[in-house]
Amino acid sequence: MAITHPTGHVDRQRAVLGLTIGAALVTIALTAVAFWLSYEALHDLATTHHLTGVRAWAWPATLDAFVVSGELLVLRASLLRRLDWLAMILVASGSAGSIVLNVVSVGAAVDRTTQVVAAIPPTAALLAFTALMRQLYRALVGRPDVPQPPRAERPTPVDVELTAVNALVLPPKPAAPPALPVAYSDPRCAIIRRLYDGGTRPGTGTMRAALEQAGYGTLSDGLIRGTLRAEVERLEPLLETYPPEKQLRAA
């Protein structure tokens, strides 16, 4: 199977790059020529007003420096996504001063056409340098991609088979009733049962003391162990596995 290359896309990219470079070179040349013409007119104006030598060459640069510094500050503010009013004032002041002084340099006795011709170089310098800064801005940050809306995904249909069992809503299962207390044949067994709550199997002395405290008098060991405790452990066999009270105390 033959592999095709996107030559059309590559050629288009090369064409765009070539046009961009060409436009940048033309803009740079236009900016240089416009600044040179404006600078020469201001230099001639300086020499006619008693500025000679280095001062005559430096004086026009003060106005052009306003424009250049202001444009650079505007570019910086654009990169920072801000609005720099001082930079815009510098550009406007330098450009307005350069245009006015270029017109003044040809004298007041000339016609309108001569004054327009004199105003063209500083105006062209301003526009060309602005275009150059715009191209530089695009080269630094690039053209932002247009965000595409998220593609909505179609929900996957779910087949639900409705049957009598699925459609039937069963009531919640009632909670189990609490366990009934153990019924002893002798009420004295309840006294013995409470002694197991400590986690040990009570001894004879402990059971006798509890029964006497409950008002049942003094009982024999056989009745306490063989009858009362035996009934408690018969109804709840787990109690018989508790460790003896004496062993726990010895430990």
Instruction: Write the pLDDT tens digit of every residue in 117-157.
Output: 888 887 887 787 788 788 778 777 765 444 445 555 666 65
206 pLDDT above the threshold of 60: yes
pLDDT at 150: 57
pLDDT at 208: 92
pLDDT at 154: 65
* 3-class state of residue 43 by DSSP: helix
Averaging pLDDT over each range in 160-164, 175-179, 180-184, which range is the top one? 180-184
More confident residue, 57 or 2: 57
More confident residue, 208 or 170: 208
Q: What is the mean pLDDT of the chain?
A: 77
246 with 203: CB under 8 angstroms? yes
Of 89-98, 117-126, 175-184, the range with the lowest mean pLDDT is 175-184
Mean predicted confidence (pLDDT) in 19-36: 80
pLDDT at 165: 47
Mean predicted confidence (pLDDT) in 35-41: 81
d(CA 29, CA 60): 20
Tokens of 87: 């930079």
Mean predicted confidence (pLDDT) in 186-206: 89
Tokens of 45: 């104006």
71 with 91: CB under 8 angstroms? yes
Of 56-60, 104-108, 148-152, the range with the lowest mean pLDDT is 148-152
Mean predicted confidence (pLDDT) in 49-69: 81
- Put simply, whether the predicted model's pTM sits higher than 0.95 gets the answer no
More confident residue, 212 or 74: 212
pLDDT at 144: 46
H or E element at residue 73: helix 54-79
109 pLDDT above the threshold of 80: no
Q: What percent of the chain has pLDDT over 70?
A: 78
DSSP string, 130-198: HHHHHHHHHHHH-PPPPPPPPPPPPPPP------HHHH--PPPPPPPPPPPPPPPSSTHHHHHHHGGGG
d(CA 211, CA 186): 12
